[in-house]
């Protein structure tokens, strides 16, 4: 076996172990678990942290930002899918607030036709584009802007996922939800936060 194939096999085993771990913590949607199994997290982090790529933990990505804990990402996606009109069909569009290194974008890309992602830090936005290209992801669009303002040139999204904690949910984001669409966001502060799910009824 070649050295490269050996490394790939090790990463595959590590991804499987990660999926088993988040499953043991309560993630049960098989589509979500399969998305994590097929997404190479090691391509989205700095080589210095490659040995921890498939641990269920957040990791630094520079600019005082982190790649989210896999369980948290999985939980948010599961909540978006659960009991919605999208439970059996793929979503049309998802708006992601906080692209970071692009890992969550890659996961989300498996559940919709296109991911629109906003990152306020320009170097991270460019890195995410490169990471996603390396991972073979094509159905995304990234712009550098203030995510709290939404994506003004696009009318409505089926789902909106906020990566970073916020003290409140901006009304501008709720306005960009389709009827029956869902928005999920960690609300609180650095020490205490809860995932808040909003479903637009009308």
Least confidently predicted of 2-6, 23-27, 153-157: 2-6
Q: How confident is the model at residue 3 (pLDDT cuts 50, 70, 90)?
A: very low
Distance CA 158, CA 73 (A): 18
Distance CA 123, CA 56 (A): 25
Q: State the pLDDT at residue 86.
A: 66
Assess contact for 162 and 184: CB atoms under 8 A.
Answer: yes
Sketch the domain layout of the chain as residue ranges.
3-199
Calculate mean pLDDT across residues 166-188.
92
Q: What is the CATH number of domain 3-199?
A: 3.40.50.150
What is the 3-state composition of the chain as percent helix, strand, coil, each rounded to the nearest 5? 40, 25, 35
Mean predicted lDDT score pLDDT of the chain:
91
Count of all residues that appear for the chain in the document = 202
Determine what percent of the chain is predicted with pLDDT higher than 90. 76
Determine what percent of the chain is predicted with pLDDT higher than 70. 94
Quick: pLDDT tens for 30-57: 999 999 999 999 999 998 898 999 999 9
Calculate mean pLDDT across residues 67-78.
96
Quick: pLDDT tens for 99-138: 999 999 999 999 999 999 999 999 999 999 999 999 999 9
Q: State the pLDDT at residue 87.
A: 67
Q: State the pLDDT at residue 60.
A: 95
Least confidently predicted of 104-108, 120-124, 144-148, 163-167: 163-167
Q: Which of the residues 50, 68, 84, 122 is marked catalytic?
A: 68
Least confidently predicted of 4-13, 65-74, 150-159, 183-192: 4-13
Does this model's pTM top 0.85? My answer is: yes
6 given a catalytic annotation? no
Which DSSP symbol is given to 176? T
Q: State the pLDDT at residue 190.
A: 76
Higher pLDDT among residues 97 and 190, named by residue: 97
Distance CA 56, CA 52 (A): 9
Q: State the pLDDT at residue 184.
A: 96
């Amino acid at each position: 076996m070649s050295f490269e194939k050996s490394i790939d096999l090790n990463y595959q085993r590590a991804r499987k172990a990660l999926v088993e771990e988040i499953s043991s913590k309560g993630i049960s949607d098989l589509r979500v678990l399969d998305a994590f199994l097929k997404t190479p997290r090691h391509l989205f982090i700095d080589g210095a942290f490659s040995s921890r790529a498939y641990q269920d933990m957040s990791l630094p990505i520079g600019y005082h930002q982190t790649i989210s804990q896999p369980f948290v990402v999985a939980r948010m996606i599961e909540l978006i899918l659960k009991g919605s009109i999208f439970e059996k069909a793929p979503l049309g569009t998802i708006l992601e607030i906080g692209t970071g290194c692009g890992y969550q974008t890659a996961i989300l890309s498996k559940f919709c036709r296109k991911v629109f992602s906003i990152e306020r830090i320009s170097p991270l936005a460019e890195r995410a584009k490169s990471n996603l290209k390396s991972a073979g992801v094509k159905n995304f669009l990234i712009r550098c802007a203030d995510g709290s303002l939404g994506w003004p040139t696009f009318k409505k999204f089926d789902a909106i996922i906020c990566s970073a904690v916020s003290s409140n949910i901006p009304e501008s984001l709720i306005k960009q939800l389709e009827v029956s669409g869902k928005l999920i966001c960690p609300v609180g502060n650095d020490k205490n936060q809860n995932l808040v799910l909003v479903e637009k009824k009308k």
